[in-house]
Structure 1
Amino acid sequence: MMSATISQEDVYHALEQVMDPEIPVLSVIDLGMITGVDITEGQPVLVRMIPTFAACPAVSYIKDNIRTVVEKALGVAVTVEIDKHVHWESNRMTAAAKEKLKNFGIAPPPVLEGDVRPEIMLNTPCPHCGSEHTYLRSPFGSTLCRAIHYCKSCGQVFEQFKPLE
């Protein structure tokens, strides 16, 4: 049974500890994956989330982590649902998330204004040296949400989190 002293802020604070299994420096909050938290007396806390990609293989793992972390942190029952009314887009990522990605060696997605165009992935700034003298080697990276780039300035191969609307 849930305590009336649990707030949405408490739940969101706990969710900051739920890290993405593919990019362990980013939380589900950083990624903008949480679409809502409902707290109703006598009911499990309901957390609504969206995956970053529809076919993301880590969705079940992330749902389980959300449930486990929030239950342990707050001592309440938790239900996690996929929000089918909201689609994830890369603009949901926080500025802090983009900086964490860059520091992790992955180029963050650019802010999208309008449609995603193939040329938006050209000349992606290198997360290692900052050069825009780069090229897209493959739109397919190690996961569905990444592309592979090469920096002509520092010679590093790097991934970019794909822009998505």
Structure 2
Amino acid sequence: MDIAPAIDRQLAGRIAAVLDTVPDPEIPVVSVTELGIVRGIVADEGSGAVTVRITPTYTGCPATQVIERSVREALDAAGFREVALETVLSPPWSTDMIDEAGREKLRAYGIAPPPKGAAARSLRGRDVVECPRCGSADTVEVSRFGSTPCKALWRCRNCAEPFDRFKCH
């Protein structure tokens, strides 16, 4: 998450702490900051108005409005009613934006997180996907469509368990 130099670091830290408590509505074990949905906290140099910038995991994500509402409610409840929300689509969200804590929480929850830089390999069909349950790399994609539009369904040949994997993009 980017914090613009013009913003008071203490204020930005308090806002970031609030955002860290907002869970993703589809995967409640990770926060919107851990998923990289929160892109930054910025202040207008002239007015000092503070804005939180967020990016959906992909255009058309059905959880986008729920995320916006959850972020707004958390900020309001913490006394940050004056903080604006801005949805930014460029640059687009990428699985590389998931932080390490988020990747570990996804794995513990049973979702295979893609490693950093996986999007380029994925486009070439060179995915090595480890089972989040047993760690085996002997896995196969069952369906491009998983429990949510941003995940695909995979199966481990070692432990025979199905699991979701974030689609790399």
TM bracket (short chain)? 0.7 to 0.9
TM-score by length of 1: 0.87
The equivalent residue for 1:61 is 66
Residues 43 and 50 in structure 2, CA contact (< 8 A), matched pair in contact too: yes
Residues 106 and 158 in structure 1, CA contact (< 8 A), matched pair in contact too: yes
Matched, 1:33 2:37: yes
Residue deviations 1:80-113 (CA, integer Å, cap 9, x gap): 1111332101101101111000000000012216
The root-mean-square deviation of aligned C-alpha atoms, in Å, is 2.2
Cα distance in 1 between the residues matched to 2:25 and 2:76: 19
Cα distance in 1 between the residues matched to 2:60 and 2:83: 24
Within the candidate set 71, 89, 111, 2:94 is matched to 89
Distance 1:139 1:45, change over 3 A: same
Percent same amino acid at aligned positions? 34
> Runs ≥4 in structure 1, deviation > 6 angstroms?
none
Deviation at 1:66, TM superposition (A): 0.6
Matched, 1:119 2:131: no
Unaligned runs of 5+ in 2: 1-7
Matched, 1:20 2:24: yes
- The residue identity in structure 1 corresponding to 2:156 is C
Residues 53 and 144 in structure 1, CA contact (< 8 A), matched pair in contact too: no
Residues 95 and 119 in structure 2, CA contact (< 8 A), matched pair in contact too: no
Cα distance in 1 between the residues matched to 2:56 and 2:150: 11
Deviation at 1:43, TM superposition (A): 6.9
Unaligned runs of 5+ in 1: none
Residues 118 and 168 in structure 2, CA contact (< 8 A), matched pair in contact too: no
Alignment length (residue pairs): 160
